[in-house]
Structure 1
Amino acid sequence: MKLFTRLLFVISISVLISCGYASNSNEMKISNRTLVVNNQPYIIKGICYHPVPKGSPNKRSFATLTQDLALMTEAGINTIRVYAPIDDVQVLDEISQAGIKVIIGFGYNQSGKFDIKSGTFINYVNTYKNHSAILMWELGNEYNYHPQWFDDDIKNWYKLMNNAAALIHANDPNHPTTTAHGDLPDALALSMSPNIDVWGMNVYRWDKPKSVFEAWEAISNKPMYLSETGGDSYMQISKAGYEQGENQKAQADAANNILKEVFDNQAICSGVTLFSFTDGWWKAGNNDRQDIGGFAPNSTGIPYDGTPNEEYWGIVDIDRSKKEVFNVVKETYLNVSKTNN
């Protein structure tokens, strides 16, 4: 009877591993300012990923996942950042098999579906914490720009975020907590959020993010990375030598300058998830066509026109044709010296 029970246990563990729910090689640690995965330094060479098809009202689809992963692998991408949990083990399995890890984002209010408000995010953590695709758990995206969501007091958000991070630590000791803060966190954010292990920052300071790294070094000894940065491929006006209208060169030049400063500052910055993988036709106007316009808070630092044309941010277009910036990302990521393959 004991032999049968032991055999059943071994079979059960084997099934979990084959399904992607368990893994013996998915431990992430922090050593000073360095991210360490499976005892190897890890630099984030990433992309933000929210694949919404033409005509869809912000409904994410992974129908093109295989094609997308092939393009990401070609570009040297090792990390994707998603804005909502991926509740599909087959999707996570395919991402992991491509050698890519995921930063899983949790929103405050997602109608009770793995969100922070309901507390159901921890159910997702406990379901997928052993999956080999998971890199970090991310709490919120630029919520410091939206105190109105928290009774006009941003301290309410920082308290919620810190408590959520503590709960994650209690349930999953192998993956750090992070957040995507709008630009550099201030003293209030840092003092109220000690349970955030790695600070992600959405930084749009033209094509020169270096000042963020210098400021961060002075105020914190924790790891940080750029959770969003980059530029779009549409010039609202002619400026800085770039012509008005669709302008892929402006986007490519901006990415080149930004990524150079990121990887020239690896002592402070642990990498980047560039915004974004594909153009998003759902973000402004008619979802069946690509529109100019859109809105993003604190976005005047968008190179080179100061205007975020929200549907033009992809390194590939909606049909997965490569834009000029794709080759910039590829050349940069494949030549980063400190890497995890």
Structure 2
Amino acid sequence: MSKYIVLFLTMVAFTACKSQNNTDVVSVKERQIYVNDARYLIKGICYHPVPKGSTQRNFDSLDQDLALMVEAGINTIRVYAPIDDKTVLDKIHEAGLKVIIGFGYKQDGHFDIYSGSFINYVNTYKNHNAILMWELGNEYNYHPEWFENDIKNWYSAMNNAADLIHKNDANHPTTTAHGDLPDALALSMSPNIDVWGMNVYRWDNPSTIFPEWQAISNKPMYLAEAGGDSYMTISKDGYEAGVNEKAQADANKHILEAIFKATDICSGVTLFAFEDGWWKAGNPDKQDPGGWAPNSSGVPYDGSPNEEYWGIVDIDRNKKQTFQIVKDFYTNQ
């Protein structure tokens, strides 16, 4: 066989892995995620950039942030609301990263699940090669009060939204960010969820969730949130109270070790979070201890989620100790 025939067959095989419009095909098979038939391991970060003094997300720092992400070996960004800006998505793609796009339930009719407008976003951007998955909801299982005190209303809405995505986009899976391990009700009512994301805070060792998931489902899963913050509310386990980057670095080291030992079950993680968020717990002009999230007593090492101290970089984009920990793991996988 001549080298020209070999080259031609290689090109045909590569083309077959992609959709007809040259969009990357993201698929799931036997607990794993694939992009164009190559296994994809999520080495990710949660990303919601809000400047000092503001409570609104903006992407003015995107170029700097992407450079830091590339340095850290990050290949996936998880965002909590759609990015309705092709320029931003183009830059993410050009940097070699993909993005998990999150849709909320009620967002004043702006690309939300309740109004059904989310599908307009899907159809607008489904051919963009920055897209990895479509995410429906974030820890909504902790909030039945948002759904007439019946969480079944949420699971029904989520499953219907996932079905609508399947009918409109054959090239990207559906996912959700569930608070810890989904129960039998969640699984039985949500067959249209292709990949289960889970926000898991089990101190500095999430390893118990992997066999638990293996026992109840054969679908892919990943940790949509995990990690530690860099503020100790109390002195504990040898870590002093106050700002403590070592506590965060040690926690993330142990968490990432557990995740990457279990890649037969777990398809990776979007670590929480990229930058410190001064908007979350008090005055957005300064960094405040405090903040709270449901089921967060498992946050290492003080059981207290100081919401403004979760970044692997600070709000000025200075690297914290944990940045090197993340880089060491992500660049060696």
TM interval, shorter chain, is over 0.9
**Contact kept in structure 2, 1:251 and 1:325, CA below 8 Å:** yes
Matches within 5 A, 1:168-207: 168-207=165-204
Q: Are residues 1:295 and 2:296 paired?
A: no
| Partner Cα separation in structure 2 for residue 35 and residue 141 of structure 1 | 20
Q: Write the deviation string for residues 287-335 of structure 1: whole angstroms up to 9, x where unpaired.
A: 0000000011100000000000000000000000000000000000000
- Tell me whether 23-32 or 252-261 shows the greater mean CA deviation: 23-32
The alpha-carbon deviation at position 25 of structure 1 amounts to 4.0
Q: Are residues 1:45 and 2:43 paired?
A: yes
**Count of residue correspondences:** 314
**Contact kept in structure 2, 1:23 and 1:132, CA below 8 Å:** no
Matches within 5 A, 1:1-341: 24-57=22-55, 59-336=56-333
**Contact kept in structure 2, 1:23 and 1:131, CA below 8 Å:** no
Letter in 2 for 1:306: G
Q: Write the deviation string for residues 215-266 of structure 1: whole angstroms up to 9, x where unpaired.
A: 0000000000000000000000000110110000000000000001001000
Structure 2's unaligned 5+ residue stretches are 1-19
Secondary structure at the residue paired with 2:100?
A: strand
**Contact kept in structure 1, 2:23 and 2:128, CA below 8 Å:** no
**Contact kept in structure 1, 2:229 and 2:306, CA below 8 Å:** yes
Q: Write the deviation string for residues 10-44 of structure 1: whole angstroms up to 9, x where unpaired.
A: xxxxxxxxxxxx96141101121110001110000
Secondary structure at the residue paired with 2:286?
A: coil
| Partner Cα separation in structure 1 for residue 301 and residue 117 of structure 2 | 41
| Partner Cα separation in structure 2 for residue 147 and residue 271 of structure 1 | 28
Q: 1:321 to 1:23 in 2, by over 3 A?
A: farther
| Partner Cα separation in structure 1 for residue 21 and residue 300 of structure 2 | 42
| Partner Cα separation in structure 1 for residue 177 and residue 31 of structure 2 | 17
Secondary structure at the residue paired with 2:222?
A: strand
Q: Write the deviation string for residues 261-281 of structure 1: whole angstroms up to 9, x where unpaired.
A: 001000000000000000000
**Contact kept in structure 2, 1:239 and 1:304, CA below 8 Å:** yes
**Contact kept in structure 2, 1:259 and 1:332, CA below 8 Å:** yes
Letter in 2 for 1:269: C
| Partner Cα separation in structure 2 for residue 62 and residue 268 of structure 1 | 34
| Partner Cα separation in structure 2 for residue 51 and residue 125 of structure 1 | 22
| Partner Cα separation in structure 1 for residue 296 and residue 195 of structure 2 | 23
RMSD of aligned C-alpha atoms? 0.8
**Contact kept in structure 2, 1:52 and 1:280, CA below 8 Å:** yes
| Partner Cα separation in structure 2 for residue 60 and residue 91 of structure 1 | 13
TM-score (norm 2): 0.94
TM-score (norm 1): 0.91
